Amino acid sequence: MLFELRIVVFGVLVGAFLSSIWRIKFSHFEFLSKLRSALKPIEHYHHGLILILLSLYAPYHISLFLLSLGSYLIIDEANQDRPFAYGKDTFLISTFIGIILLALLIGLYIKGGL
């Protein structure tokens, strides 16, 4: 039980670390600036949903890590100034991507994948 808790805490810490790095402005690195522009419609919660989907098919301990990391990214998105791209020019495409991922997750839940 304690080992599982450590895995979950590690997933949350990795999520916090990745979220901190994501917020860094990469304007002085041309490649990273272009990459960030290309990924503009992709939000934290998309990554979180993908990680949760992947956790369904991973071994138990890896699944715990992916689930906690994905959950952290979704919670982090909800705590931002403009969560879920609301009010941004990428809101529609971002929402569409989120709906597809969420529908896939719900579909797997209904099918019995969770």
User: What is the tally of structural domains in the chain?
Assistant: 1
Q: Is residue 41 within 8 Å of residue 97, measured between CB atoms?
A: yes
pLDDT tens digits for 48-64? 999 999 998 899 889 99
pLDDT surpassing 70 at residue 32: no
Contact 69, 15 (CB under 8 A): yes
pLDDT at 4: 87
Amino acid 87: pLDDT: 82
Q: Which two tokens stand for residue 85?
A: 């791209």
Which range of residues forms the domain containing residue 100? 2-111
The most confident of the ranges 23-27, 53-57, 88-92 is: 53-57
Contacts of 45 (CB under 8 A, 6+ apart): 73, 74, 77, 78, 84, 98
- Angle between helix 2-22 and helix 60-78 axes, rounded to 10 deg: 40
Whether residue 28 is predicted with pLDDT greater than 70 in this model: the reply is no
Q: Is the pLDDT of residue 30 over 70?
A: no
pLDDT of residue 35: 67
Question: Is pLDDT of 38 > 80?
Answer: no
